[in-house]
Amino acid sequence: MPGTSPGKKDPMIDSQFKENKLGELYYYTIPSFTETGLVKHGFSSRLGGVSQGEVASLNLGFKRKDSADNVKKNFQIICQALGIETRQMVFSDQVHKDRVALVDETDSGKGFDRPSDIRGCDGLITNRPGLALVTFYADCVPLYFLDPRQRAIGLAHSGWRSTLAEIGKKTLLAMQEYFATDPSDCLVGIGPSIGQCCFEVDRPVAELFTTNYPKYQAELVKKKAEKYHIDLWSLIRLQLINAGIREENITLASTCTACNNKVFFSHRADKGKTGSLAAFLMLV
């Protein structure tokens, strides 16, 4: 792989996600999800697309400095690799909050080839086969949910605000409400995203975490000079276990997008001049 290999910057950290290569394209999958045979899924890198400049090359964001034609070609590239048709996709409309939308086949294509009425939602859930949930990233945490018993799925975009609002737990609650999901049956993936090594914040933001999680503040918040470093991965893992997910059912990418910005788009490392990654999840 060109540049720093994801998950290998620190030799003490090994990614539990699988790296897949197809020509110049790199993408990542969750072995436990693949083993069920119930889903097609993946997380994109920035490699293997057609975009140029600050969004080179597999930019999947229509709101970035890129042409719509390039973005659509990039979606065709990654979707072909995943075995998904672009017409099957439905996009979230992310606002860094905690709303979760229930979607079905009538939502296919929303956000990609037709306007979307899905507003203010950072999570999507469905139990309909052939509908590909898609959420977008450039450092925030992608959360994948698969209930193999009830055959239901969810994707959630967990930035620091959404993490404090426990969007992972709320995605599970929505799956319980609509699909009778038992959290202990669920498989979860926590995808590539900014790690504690690079997620630097000022004191007011750090205090939101220490106030809400005083018992775990020593683990979740580390002070370095006048800044604070937040461990979103550990906090999300804790929230999910407290919500009933079995620890052994959580797969952690352990891959910092900011450390590995030659492989992933990173808002922090690229100083805002970047593209968008995407998470994909579809029942078959």
The pLDDT score that the predictor gives to residue 14 is 62
The pLDDT score that the predictor gives to residue 60 is 98
**253 touches 189 (CB < 8 A):** yes
Q: Give the helix/strand (H/E) hosting 281.
A: strand 277-283
The pLDDT score that the predictor gives to residue 6 is 40
> What percentage of the chain has pLDDT greater than the value 70?
95
Mean pLDDT computed over 249-263: 97
pLDDT tens-digit map of 119-139? 999 999 999 999 999 999 999
Label residue 13 by pLDDT band (50, 70, 90).
very low
In this predicted structure, the answer to whether residue 158 has a pLDDT above a threshold of 50 is yes
Alpha helix positions (H), 83-225 = 160-164, 167-179, 203-212, 217-220
Q: What mean pLDDT is reported for the chain? A: 94
In this predicted structure, the answer to whether residue 165 has a pLDDT above a threshold of 70 is yes
Mean pLDDT computed over 169-192: 98
> Domain 18-193+246-283 in CATH: superfamily?
CNF1/YfiH-like putative cysteine hydrolases (3.60.140.10)
What pTM, to 2 d.p., does this model score? 0.95
Please give the Cα distance from 178 to 89 (Å, whole number).
21
Q: Give the helix/strand (H/E) hosting 100.
A: strand 100-102
Which amino acid does the sequence have at 249?
A: N
The one-character DSSP state at 215 is G
Q: Please give the span between the terminal C-alpha atoms of the chain, in angstroms, as a whole number.
A: 30
Label residue 12 by pLDDT band (50, 70, 90).
very low
Mean pLDDT computed over 73-94: 97
Q: Is the peptide bond before 32 cis (omega within 30 degrees of 0)?
A: no
Domain boundaries, the chain: 18-193+246-283
The one-character DSSP state at 32 is H
> What percentage of the chain has pLDDT greater than the value 90?
94
**23 touches 48 (CB < 8 A):** yes
In this predicted structure, the answer to whether residue 152 has a pLDDT above a threshold of 90 is yes
The pLDDT score that the predictor gives to residue 4 is 39
More confident position, 15 or 47: 47
The pLDDT score that the predictor gives to residue 5 is 43
Please give the Cα distance from 264 to 147 (Å, whole number).
28
Mean pLDDT computed over 149-154: 98
Label residue 55 by pLDDT band (50, 70, 90).
very high
User: How crowded is residue 69: how many other Cβ atoms within 10 Å of its Cβ?
Assistant: 9
pLDDT tens-digit map of 220-237? 999 999 999 999 999 999
